[in-house]
Amino acid sequence: MLRTIGLMSGTSLDGVDAAYLETDGEVIGRLGPRLTLPYDQKLRRQLRGLLDRAETLAENDPELIDAVRRLTDRHAEAVEALGLEADLIGFHGQTILHRPPVVGRNYQPFTWQVGDATSLARRTGMTVAYDFRSADVAAGGQGAPLVPVFHRALAAPLPKPLAILNLGGVGNVTWLGPEGEMLAFDTGPANGPLDDWARKHTGKDYDAAGKLALAGQADGAVLGRLMAHPYLTAPPPKSLDRLDFDRALKEAGAAELSAADGAATLCAFCAVCVAAAARLFPEPPLQWLVAGGGRRNPAIMRALQGALEEPVRAVEVAGWDGDALEAQAFGLLAARVARGLPITFPGTTGAPRPLTGGRIVGSLL
């Protein structure tokens, strides 16, 4: 078993999650402590600015260089705060642009995670695995989601079929079949647009406990227009950029709604996207286990249970830590990179065959 520390900076741009995990890349041994180090407002604003202009951003942009330095420092602080020795760090970095292959779209597929792996390795004295997505995109895959192989290992003892749903800035789901089959893809927007909405209408970073959304009513007309978005019925593989639905939300008239109704509509849309995802599964799951910050929003959880037939529960019912799964996943993925095991699959990213990926810096194992 390798002692790993997984580090994930998600699309919500709120901070870095760090988790300790012992694994050989296939089986999960000991799960250790986890923590989140939040970003200060300056770094959040910087990252958001980079996301907004990522299409035209130069690699030597001074704002980018400064943000990468701060981001990497915060990751090193997270490793130091865990206070544990590890053989290997799994460093996802921050996605600032994700342009996966899409049928009918004529661009060069590209995915961009920022973060300085070399300086993280130097500062922590540990070997660092990073750049988990680009080999998959280069081979024609979506480059996301990457967590399914970890979900499969974690859920090994649970009855199947099973759906594991992560509600971060974007939603992603892993369907696990009885024979170890994996089908995974991004469902649609989750907390991302809701956070933007809360920031605009309340000045807060997010709608805590869904208070704003619970005071409103989902708008049927806006929801109806959003439901017609072709992404919902497109067959997997598929994945999203954090900002992919911004134009659709504007065109559907979401901006004209009251603060509370807008929030309720966004929660309902998150649930509608998940229900649409369920129609793409080979067979219905026995239950839904929900991870990520969205499981703390009762407006989202209520809308989900209303939209789905099967029981919907936070992953804590399985004894998992719903704030840790993504970071833990990058510990396992790092071990797979180090051992030369595949990290992406036809059923997860649409890779042409199980593919290795990722790069390593530091003293090799």
Ligand X SMILES: Nc1ncnc2c1ncn2[C@@H]1O[C@H](COP(=O)(O)OP(=O)(O)OP(=O)(O)O)[C@@H](O)[C@H]1O
Ligand Y SMILES: CC(=O)N[C@H]1[C@@H]2OC[C@@H](O2)[C@@H](O)[C@@H]1O[C@H](C)C(=O)O
Residues that bind ligand X in the complex, under the rule CB under 6 A: 10-12, 14, 166, 168-170, 191, 194-195, 206-210, 292-294, 296-297, 326
Residue 98 binds which of ligand Y, ligand X, none (CB < 5-8 A, kind-dependent): ligand Y
| 16 assigned ligand-binding residue | yes
Q: Which of 124, 191, 239, 287 forms a contact with ligand Y (CB under 6 A)?
A: 239
| 10 assigned ligand-binding residue | yes
* Rounded Cα–Cα distance for residues 143 and 93 (Å): 14
Nearer to ligand X, 333 or 338 (CB): 333
* Rounded Cα–Cα distance for residues 166 and 346 (Å): 20
71 lies in the site for ligand Y, by CB under 6 A: no
Q: How far is the CB of 147 from ligand Y (least distance, A)?
A: 4
Q: Which of 165, 159, 155, 188 is nearest to 293 (CA)?
A: 165
Q: Which two tokens stand for residue 73?
A: 């420092």
- Which region, left, alpha or beta, applies to residue 131 given φ > 0 means left and ψ of -120 to 50 means alpha? left
| 322 assigned ligand-binding residue | no
* Rounded Cα–Cα distance for residues 72 and 114 (Å): 9
Q: CB under 6 A: which stretch of 145-153, 203-211, 255-263, 352-360 binds ligand Y? A: 145-153
186 lies in the site for ligand Y, by CB under 6 A: yes
Q: CB under 6 A: which stretch of 35-43, 62-70, 143-151, 311-319 binds ligand Y? A: 143-151
Q: Which of 34, 36, 30, 33 is nearest to 13 (CA)?
A: 36
Q: Which of 4, 23, 46, 172 forms a contact with ligand Y (CB under 6 A)?
A: 172
Nearer to ligand Y, 4 or 95 (CB): 95
| 149 assigned ligand-binding residue | no
| 66 assigned ligand-binding residue | no
Alpha-carbon separation of residue 58 from 50, 55, 63, 65, 120 (angstroms): 10, 9, 10, 10, 22
Angle 178-180-185 (CA atoms, 0-180°, nearest 5)? 105
Q: Which two tokens stand for residue 110?
A: 């590209």
Beta-sheet pairing, 127-130 with 110-114: unpaired
Find the helix or strand (DSSP H, E) in which 138 lies: helix 134-138
Q: How far is the CB of 111 from ligand Y (least distance, A)?
A: 6
207 lies in the site for ligand Y, by CB under 6 A: no
Q: CB under 6 A: which stretch of 37-45, 115-123, 144-152, 214-222 binds ligand Y? A: 144-152
328 lies in the site for ligand Y, by CB under 6 A: no
Q: Which contacts qualify for 48-56: CB closer than 8 Å, 24 or more apart?
A: 48/13, 50/96, 50/114, 51/13, 51/96, 51/97, 51/242, 51/243, 52/243, 54/96, 54/97, 54/112, 55/97
| 258 assigned ligand-binding residue | no
| 261 assigned ligand-binding residue | no
Comparing every residue's Cβ against ligand Y, the nearest one is: 145
Residue 14 binds which of ligand Y, ligand X, none (CB < 5-8 A, kind-dependent): ligand X
Residue 12 binds which of ligand X, ligand Y, none (CB < 5-8 A, kind-dependent): ligand X
User: Between 259-278 and 298-307, two packed helices, what is the crossing angle to 10 degrees?
Assistant: 40
* Rounded Cα–Cα distance for residues 261 and 226 (Å): 15
Residue 111 binds which of ligand X, ligand Y, none (CB < 5-8 A, kind-dependent): ligand Y
Nearer to ligand X, 54 or 121 (CB): 54
Residue 46 binds which of ligand X, ligand Y, none (CB < 5-8 A, kind-dependent): none
Q: Which of 70, 34, 80, 29 is nearest to 50 (CA)?
A: 70
Q: How far is the CB of 290 from ligand X (least distance, A)?
A: 10
Binding site for ligand Y (CB under 6 A): 10-11, 95, 98, 111, 144-147, 168-170, 172, 186, 239, 326
Residue positions in the annotated binding site for ATP? Answer: 10-17
Residue positions in the annotated binding site? Answer: 10-17
